[in-house]
Amino acid sequence: MNYHDIVTLAIAFGLGMLVGLQRQKSDHEMAGVRTFTLISIMGVVSAFLARDFNNPFILPVLGICLTALLVTANIIKLKKLNDTDIGQTTEVAALLMFAVGAYLVMGDRVIAVIVGGAMAILLYVKEHLHSFIEKLSEKDLAAIMTFAGISLIILPLLPDKTYGPLDVLNPRNIWLMVTLIVGISVVGYFIYKFVGKKVGVISNGILGGLISSTATTVSYARKTKDSDAINKMAAFVITTASAVALVRVLIEVSVVVPEKLPELLLPLLTVLVLMAILCGGLFYIISKNGGDEAMPEPKNPAQFKAALIFGLLYGAILLAVAFTKQEFGSEALYVVAIISGLTDVDAITLSLSQMMKTEGLSTATGWRLILLASLSNLLFKGIMAAVLGTRQLAKWVGISFGVTIVFGLLLMLIWPENWHF
């Protein structure tokens, strides 16, 4: 007795029942739990026959027979119903269920289970999916399509080899980093779009950090000019967004150089904990006053022009880092980190992570440079808050950012080399 085949039949039975249960629950007359279970078992048995008799025609012939049955059922249904708006979801699901059953035998069982389970979930969330699509604006659709073009069309076409005088510019690698950054911003944008408006001031800071902590700083600093009552709340949101920006840095390092994460995580996490404590203190202060403000509507985070500019900036920083290290040594990279961090901490973080990945930079120096760039970015945002906002905002942001910058610089100087996970 072949227990492997028995397990395959059991899996097909379970997947068929799962999908059929959803279809029957939706009151669909074409096929329910029994029909889908039989179809999935039919796919398995068809693949057994094709395998055991070494006949490649059995499987497609039975698949065509199933298709003919579905077409006949649809013709009968059309004659009985006056509704011209008849979907094909159940019919396509039935054919896919047959293919899943066959693939359980002829292909990778894990992939077949994933496809079957995903199909059941997709059918189940139909109403939620339709509701989500109806809420999309032209800007939202543009963000999705632009990100799809960036990640699914441009990225695969780019050559995966290095160019340039210092042999560090890899077009595919550069665009992969663009995809990563745009992807994080898009996720933050859609969380804001469908959740963030409802969950208050804490989400404003978190989502602001995911989308753009710099843009959040500018928006809230300007809001304080219109109302003195929101100074402390604005300081909380700006500080929280900057703390989440450090989480972004940790995500970027984890993606690019995961093998170095145990050595990089602890010092950066220490600074993040301090910022979290500061955020908690500010939240306690503003919670006594009540007050809540909606987060300003963010711009489309997946604009192609912005993605292209980031790619050029990332490439320029790659060259600057490689040239500086080659000509002046690792110590001179601290100047590059300070200057780059003023405008965009993501680009310098990714550049330094790439150098650590290729062993061109030690981990001990790498995390210090990344932290220095983050502190430089804090200084830049603090200056913007002071220039664009009120004196009260400048005071509260100055305290939170000043404590963080001093703490971070001390950490860089006294952190023991053997302290890591």
Question: Mean pLDDT per 10-residue run, the chain (421 residues)?
Answer: 82 89 68 84 92 89 88 75 63 89 91 89 78 78 87 90 83 89 82 63 74 83 77 89 92 91 91 94 77 58 81 87 83 89 87 86 91 94 90 92 95 86 69
Q: What is the DSSP letter of 153?
A: I
* Three-state DSSP state, 169: strand
Rg (the chain; Cα; Å): 28
Q: For residues 95 and 88, what is the distance between their CA atoms, to the nearest angstrom?
A: 11
Q: How far apart, in Å, are the Cα atoms of 207 and each of 181, 186, 188, 336? A: 14, 11, 6, 29
Say if residues 162 and 169 touch (Cβ distance below 8 Å): yes
The DSSP code sequence of 105-122 is: HHS-HHHHHHHHHHHHHH
Neighbour count for residue 388 (Cβ, 10 Å): 18
Please provide residue 359's backbone torsions phi and psi, each rounded to the nearest 5 degrees: 65, 20
- Taking alpha carbons only, the member of 103, 95, 49 closest to residue 68 is 95
CA gap 87, 296 in Å, rounded? 40
Contacts of 249 (CB under 8 A, 6+ apart): 268, 345, 346, 349, 370, 374
Tally of CA atoms within 13 A in the half-sphere of 69 that contains its CB: 13
Q: What is the per-residue pLDDT for 190?
A: 80
The pair phi, psi for residue 169, each rounded to 5°, is -95, 105
pTM for the predicted model, two decimal places: 0.72
Task: Compute the half-sphere exposure of residue 151: CA atoms within 13 Å on the CB side of its CA.
Answer: 15
Tokens of 116: 């079957």
CB 106 within 8 A of CB 47: yes
What's the pLDDT score for residue 196? 56
Residue among 9, 65, 14, 18 at smallest CA distance from 41 = 9
Determine phi and psi for 163, rounding to 5 degrees. -135, 175
Whether the CB-CB separation of 310 and 175 falls below 8 Å is answered with no
Q: Provide the token pair at 370.
A: 């990344």
